[in-house]
Amino acid sequence: KQEVTQIPAALSVPEGENLVLNCSFTDSAIYNLQWFRQDPGKGLTSLLLIQSSQREQTSGRLNASLDKSSGRSTLYIAASQPGDSATYLCAVKPTDSWGKLQFGAGTQVVVTP
Amino acid sequence: DTAVSQTPKYLVTQMGNDKSIKCEQNLGHDTMYWYKQDSKKFLKIMFSYNNKELIINETVPNRFSPKSPDKAHLNLHINSLELGDSAVYFCASSQRQGNNSPLHFGNGTRLTVT
A77-96 pLDDT per residue, tens: 999 999 999 999 999 988 87
Minimal Cα–Cα distance from A112 to chain B, Å? Answer: 23
Amino acid at B31: T
Gap between the Cα atoms of B37 and B56, Å rounded: 17
Count of CA atoms in the C-beta half-sphere (13 A) of A111: 18
Cα atoms found within 13 Å of the Cα of residue A64, Cβ hemisphere only: 28
According to the model, what pLDDT value does residue B98 have?
A: 55
Cβ pair A88, A109 in contact under 8 A = yes
Question: What whole-number distance in Å separates Cα of residue A58 and Cα of residue A8?
Answer: 22
Pick from B25, B33, B51, B105 the residue to mutate for testing the A interface (most A CBs within 10 Å).
B105
pLDDT at A52: 92
**What gap in Å lies between CA B44 and CA B53, rounded to an integer?**
20
State how far the Cα of B80 lies from the Cα of B16, in Å rounded to an integer.
4
- Please, what sign has the CA dihedral across residues B114, B108, A27, A90? negative
Contact B22, B32 (CB under 8 A): no
**Element spanning A19, H or E:** strand A19-25
pLDDT at B1: 59
- pLDDT tens-digit readout, A24-74: 999 999 989 999 999 987 889 999 999 999 999 999 999 999 999 999 999
Q: Which residues on chain B are in Cβ contact (under 8 Å) with A46? A: 102-104
Q: How far is B18 from chain A (nearest CA, A)?
A: 24
Task: Look at residue B2 and tell me whether its pLDDT is greater than 80.
Answer: no
* pLDDT tens column, B12-49: 999 999 999 999 999 999 999 999 998 877 899 999 88
Instruction: Band the pLDDT of A5: cuts 50, 70, 90.
Output: very high
Q: What is the pLDDT of residue B39?
A: 81
Does the beta-carbon distance from B41 to A44 stay under 8 Å?
A: no
pLDDT tens, residue by residue, B48-66: 888 888 887 787 889 999 9
Give me the count of residues in chain B. Answer: 114
